[in-house]
C-alpha cells in the first residue's frame, strides 16, 4: 500500500510542486504537460503480462531505459521541450523509486 501511495504520489506531486514553484503564472499548463509524461507507460502494452506488480519497469520497457532517459534529459535542457523532458524524467524517477521498494 505504501509503495503505491509513494509511486503515484511522485507521479502527481513532483510535477505539481515544480509547476507551482517555477511556473506560477501558467502552473496548470505546466503541470498538465509534465503529468502527460505518464503516456510513456503505453510501452507496457508490449509486455506479457501487461501489468506485473513484481516487475521493475526500468530497463524492461523500451521507453523506460537508460538510453531513453538520456533523451529525456536532453529534452529537459531546452526551453521549448523542458516541461516534456521534466515530465518524462520525473516519470522514470518515480518508477525507479517504485523499483527500490521491490
Each domain of the chain, given as residue ranges in start order, spans 2-101
pLDDT interval class at 70 (50, 70, 90) = very high
Which 8-state DSSP code applies to residue 87? H
pLDDT interval class at 89 (50, 70, 90) = very high
Q: Is the pLDDT of residue 74 over 90?
A: yes
Other beta carbons within 10 Å of 95:
21
Tens digit of each residue's pLDDT (9 = 90 or more) over 1-13: 788 888 888 999 9
Amino acid at each position: 500500500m505504501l509503495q503505491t501511495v509513494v509511486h503515484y504520489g511522485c507521479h502527481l506531486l513532483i510535477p505539481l510542486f515544480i509547476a507551482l514553484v517555477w511556473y506560477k503564472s501558467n502552473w496548470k499548463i505546466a503541470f498538465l504537460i509534465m503529468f502527460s509524461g505518464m503516456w510513456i507507460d503505453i510501452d507496457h502494452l508490449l509486455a506479457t503480462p501487461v501489468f506485473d506488480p513484481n516487475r521493475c519497469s526500468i530497463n524492461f520497457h523500451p521507453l523506460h531505459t537508460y538510453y531513453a532517459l538520456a533523451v529525456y534529459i536532453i529534452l529537459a535542457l531546452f526551453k521549448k521541450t523542458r516541461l516534456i523532458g521534466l515530465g518524462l524524467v520525473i516519470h522514470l524517477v518515480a518508477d525507479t523509486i517504485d523499483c527500490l521498494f521491490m
